[in-house]
Amino acid sequence: MRLIPAIDIIDGKCVRLSKGDYSTKKIYNESPLEVAKEFEAHGIEYLHLVDLDGAKSKHIVNHKVLEAIASQTNLKIDFGGGLKTDEDLRIAFESGANQITGGSIAVKDPETFKSWLLQFGPDKIILGADANNEKIAVSGWLEESDQELIPFVQAYQKQGVSYVICTDISKDGMLQGPSFDLYQKILNEIPNIKLIASGGISTFDELPKLAEIGCEGTIIGKAIYENRISMKQLEDYILNSAK
């Protein structure tokens, strides 16, 4: 299972929110690049970079941060937050993103999202399926849609999606453990999907459990920044997985 630390950006700084609520913002580092370099120094290969300003503004904002990290580390970056147009995608990929994540766009403008899948291929486009009570949430989680999580992902798998990041919003940033039952249910009902678990990771012991149920990757945020999970633990996990 891939370990994918998260860097969320507001005003060019590394922050975390609780349940996607912008009023809970906590700044952890003024320099996302510094944070990314530390991840890389501990053997991390992947990074989940979220443009929270972009999610709010509905267009890419913090592409300079993406560019700095992509040009000064070897991290494979998936980038999301407010990507709505072909121009946003062009900027993201030109700034160094390996993959992009589309969430709200997949709900509100499915034709554009499908066109990206065709144009760039399923290895480059991740479906962001963020949910509250198994209903898809959109617009930086400020709105709940009427789309049910599992049928939503199933429909997009038929369109060629292979990677899905699923965040249970009720868990996100709460450090109370991830939604094991939800992920198990998704994997039981949607075989062959590459599921990336996100939200609620609070201790190292949860990571092997997510691997065991079949998650392809897991995104870890606040647990790292609050020192619930140490960089050494992540480094050892990566080394042991490689054996």
Q: What are the residue boundaries of the structural domains of the chain, listed by start?
A: 2-242
The topology under which CATH files domain 2-242 is TIM Barrel (3.20.20)
Distance CA 199, CA 177 (A): 8
Catalytic-labelled residue, pool 53, 88, 130, 168 = 130
Mapped to the 3 state alphabet, what secondary structure does 33-87 carry?
A: HHHHHHHHHCCCCEEEEEEHHHHHHCCCCCHHHHHHHHHHCCCEEEEECCCCCHH
> In 160-189, which positions are buried (b, 16+ CB within 10 angstroms) versus exposed (e)?
ebbbbbbbbbebbbebeebbbebbeebbee
pTM of the model: 0.95
| 236 part of the active site | no
Partners of 4 in the beta sheet? 219
DSSP string, 6-39: EEEEETTEEEEEETTEEEEEEEEES-HHHHHHHH
| 78 part of the active site | no
Nearest Cα to 2, choosing from 219, 178, 230?
219
> How much is the average pLDDT of 126-134?
93
**Is 141 a residue whose pLDDT tops 90?**
no
Catalytic-labelled residue, pool 8, 53, 78, 168 = 8
pLDDT in tens, 142-198: 667 889 999 999 999 999 999 999 998 888 878 899 999 999 999 999 999 999 999
**Is 121 a residue whose pLDDT tops 90?**
yes
